[in-house]
Chain A
Amino acid sequence: MKDTFRKSISSLHTWSGLLAGWLLFAIFFTGTYSYFKDEITYWMNPETHKAAPEAADRAVQAEMAIRYLESSLLDAAEWGITFANERTPVLQVGHRERLPMDMKVQDYVRTAMPMTYLDPVTGEHFNPRDTEGGNFLYRFHIELYGLDRATGRAIVGIATMFMFIAIISGVIIHKRIFADFFTFRRKKGLRSWLDAHIFTSVLALPYHLMITYSGLVLVMIYILPFTAQKSAKAFDDHIAMHMRQEQIPLPAEKVPLPDIKAILADAEQRLGREAGSISISNPYSKNTLVTVSPGTGMDIVNGFKGTGSSQRLTYKGPKGRFMGMMNMQASDSAAKISGVLTSLHLARFADTFLRWLFFVSGALGTVMIGTGLIIWVNKKSSVINKSFGRKLVEILNVGGITGLVAATGVHFWVNRLLPVEIAARAQWEIYIFFAAWLVFFLHPLIRIPKNAWKEQLFLAGGLYCLMPVLNAFTSDVNFFSALAGGNSIIMAFDLTVFGLGIIFGYAGWKLHEKQNMLENAFSTAAAGRGN
């Protein structure tokens, strides 16, 4: 009886993992990448790298931002200013267009405000290239690509449910969860893959459970339409409110802007800490609303989406009259729990150390899914040897695992090499990424999968390892000047991609070296296990 139970749960684990496997691999990979999306966006805008590491005083930055906004983005429904910070060390300014008054809510897409970059010392506009930066794969993580919000998030949500089932059933079938954690049999073919799968699963198990469950909570209004009507309506109302804020007519007579420097000083005094960003809604009107949000002191329980802080100060009209401080507080324990889960998933509160810990855990999760998919192919190889299903999975594994890793490498390179003056450049970066990914899916059809694995790993290794060189040629800051000038983002980026490249290359080399030996080991190990 007990044995039957374990076997049934084992097949549940296998199938829930396999059916959503490649999608889950992509979601985990892009999600892990997204922990550093701000830093990646900064890297993908090399024009901004020449800025001095020490930004000017925030009052000076505000003044420079307003000067730029007044001179070039005059007709806007909203302006945004984000001060230079640790993760994006340049001054960001952005705006939202006025929307037509007859626009319908269903046609409205709420995205992050598009930002451009100013020198945080001189206020000079950097003229950055047209790119989505790290936001492209971040959006892919949440809602894939080319789908509307609800469909994309529902698909991701369903895949996440598969993950949740795979994790729980994996824990159930794994009887010696802690003993096996310390077991790693190298050079044992299938047994080694299994040990790697178990090791990465168990090592970060609390993380895997947390990130999967909180992911489900984040998309629940899209996958639970029968029991989330009120939440969905609340969300729609929230979106509609944002749309109305952008549907404002040009003020008939222009009144001057309030004194932003005075507002900033007042806000920082009331907050008792640094301001992080300022939003100016409906500029030049009698109803101009200036909102200041703190840049530090992120709240893990409460927090406005977007800034991650629980406080906001508002000032109204040309005189900048103080309207009050909003202090978002969860109304009850349900709101508190979902607040904590949301914060944990988005990790906006995390400092550098915790962010790295999450990144490593996410990488372990990615490896866990990848090894799981590889195990399926190898485990079955002795049983249903040349079946169509096995071949299909074997081929899709290449594009789905190393293909995505290599395509992301291509995306980084395209960002730097695509000519700056091309029309719809940001779109082309994305198209080339997908084209490369498609090629990596087709690759194992032309070559046999064994060789495709190896070649894609070598390609990924090369692309990642040489990225610091690419950067040195296409940016004003290279690894050594970053080291000397204190540009920690470029320095850490170069070290990280180089390290990742070494890992990919090592994996490819190992595969090459052990290919024949592994082949034999696979079949004997699988036969020996007998299931």
Chain B
Amino acid sequence: MTKSIREKSGGFETASRIILGIVGGYALSAMITALLIRVMPFAPVQAEKAANMVFFIIYACALIWVFSNAKTKTVWIVMSVMLALTAAMLLLGGA
């Protein structure tokens, strides 16, 4: 717990963080945004605008979180669960 990401085993760790952060974070934030659009009390175009404004905050938080967590395994698990959860909510709520 005393070493930063880059100083640890290197390759796999760093690649994991980059993929989880950039791709995973984007997918997660986009899905949360899609959920937000549905619940926002605005006209469709405005709801989209409002939710997309929030997107950048969510994405930034997701990225920071992915890079700050000490254990890569934890990040993989939590990110996968979150992605599965939001995807399920989107699919179930989409009907």
Contact = CB atoms under 8 A, between A and B. Distances in A.
A388 interface: no
B50 A220 contact: no
A102 interface: no
A227 interface: yes
B55 A224 contact: yes
Interface string A325-337: 0000001101101
A-side interface mostly = helix
A168 B60 contact: yes
Contacts, number: 97
A338 interface: yes
A4 B67 contact: no
Interface in A473-530: none
Nearest to A531: B4
B4 A7 contact: yes
A1 interface: yes
B43 A331 contact: yes
Given A4-B1, A4-B70, A12-B67, A227 B55 contact: yes
A285 B52 CA distance: 43
Interface size class on chain A is 35 or more
B45 interface: yes
B37 interface: yes
Interface residues of B, number: 33
B60 A165 contact: yes
Contacts of A234: 45
B51 interface: yes
A338 B44 CA distance: 15
B49 interface: yes
Contacts of B55: 220, 224, 227
Interface string B45-68: 111111111011001100110011
Contacts of A4: 1-4, 70
B86 to A, nearest CB: 12
A164 B49 contact: no
Interface of A: 1, 3-5, 7-12, 161, 164-165, 168-169, 172, 213, 216-217, 220, 224, 226-231, 234, 331-332, 334-335, 337-338, 341
